[in-house]
Every structure is written in structure tokens, then in C-alpha cells.
Amino acid sequence: MKKTILIVEDDLDILFAVTTFLENEGYAVYNAENGKAALEILKKHDLPNLILLDMLMPVMDGWKFSSEFVPIYDSKAPIIVMTAASDAAQRAKDIHADGWIGKPFSLDELLAMIKKYERT
């Protein structure tokens, strides 16, 4: 069975590129354009093996998403923060994320992070 990854990212180009890559790597990928869409997906599907989370998004941002997600799902899914902000590490710490990756990143870097934190 394929491992699943939820990508929460409002930049459609990034979303498309990462999705294409991860599917080629053999993952099942769910896409959400914001935190609210991500919560909707989580309601309908099993908990993914990992969540890639952008922070600055319209409608519901990364902070709000994690504050709603963590209590409900008891942080059973590891979260990796993807951000273009200079203080990426701080943002990851804010929401008790497992790891972070700063934009721009390479696909190999991303894959290494996923392998490190994905729930098996």
C-alpha cells in the first residue's frame, strides 16, 4: 500500500511540482490550497503518513490549521513546515512541527526530510 502525503500549499505551481514529484516517487498525494481545505480532506480520509504544511495561506493559515488539527488528531501525523520566511525554524517551533524545510528547496532535500519523518 502506498504511503500518503497531504500537501497544504496555496501556490498552485509549487503544489503541482511537488505533487508530480512525489507521485513519481510512489506516494499517494492529497492536495489542499489552505488549512480549511486540508481539514476537510482529513475528515474524509485516513490520517496521512506525513503533512507538508505551508504557513502563509489565505482562508486558513498554517498556525490556525495546526491549532485545530493537533487536538483532534493528537499529533499522530508528523508535520513538516515548508516556508519562504526567514524564520522557518521559529515557525516550525510555534506549531510544534516535527521538521521544516525552507523555500527554495531541492526535491532531493524534500525527499530526504520526508523519509526521515514519515510515519511508517
Partner 1 sequence: MDSQSELFSNLINSLQDGFSMLDSNGVLIEANPALCRMTGYTREELIGKRAPLPFWPPNEASEIQKALHETFSGKFLNHEFTYMRKNGERFFVIVSPSAFKDQHGKIINYIATVKDISELKKTEKALSESEAKYRTLVEWTRMPIFVSRDNVILYANPAAIKMLGARSPQEIIGKSTFDFIHSDFHQILVDQVKNLPEHGIDTPLFEAKFIRVNGSIIIGEMHSTSIVFEGKLSLLSSIADITELKRTLEELKEKQQYLMDSQAVAQVGSWSLDLQSSNLTWTEQSYHNFGVNPETFTPGVESLLELMHPDDRAAMVEWIRLTQANEKSGKLEFRIPLPDGTVRVLEGRGMLLFDKNKKPIRMIGTNQDITDRKRLENDIIAEKKKAEDSKKVMARFLGIAAHELRTPVTTLSLFLELSQRQLDKGEPVNAATLSRLRGSADHLKDLVAELLDISRLERGFVILKPENKDIVPLILNCLESFKIIAPKRRFSFFSSEEKIELTFDSMRINQVLSNLLDNAVKYTPEESPIEVRVDANPNFVRVAVIDYGPGITKEHQQDLFSEFSRGNSNETIRTCGLGLGLSVCRGIINLHGGKMGLFSEDGSGSTFYFELPRNGIK
Q: Which residues bind partner 1 (CB under 8 A)?
A: 10-11, 13-14, 16-18, 20-21, 24, 56-59, 61, 84-86, 102-107
Min dist. Cβ of residue 6 to partner 1 (A)? 18
- 104 contacts: CB under 8 Å, gap ≥ 6: 84
Which of residues 39 and 60 has its CB atom nearest to partner 1 in the complex?
A: 60
Min dist. Cβ of residue 79 to partner 1 (A)? 19
Report which secondary-structure segment, H or E, holds 7: strand 4-8
Which of residues 45 and 103 has its CB atom nearest to partner 1 in the complex?
A: 103
CB contact at 8 A, 19 and 7: yes
Min dist. Cβ of residue 28 to partner 1 (A)? 19
- Report the residue count for the chain: 120
Which of residues 12 and 119 has its CB atom nearest to partner 1 in the complex?
A: 12
- 107 contacts: CB under 8 Å, gap ≥ 6: 18, 21
Min dist. Cβ of residue 36 to partner 1 (A)? 12
Which of residues 73 and 105 has its CB atom nearest to partner 1 in the complex?
A: 105
How many whole angstroms separate alpha carbon 44 and alpha carbon 60? 18
**Backbone region of residue 10 per phi and psi (left: phi > 0; alpha: psi in -120 to 50; beta: other values):** alpha
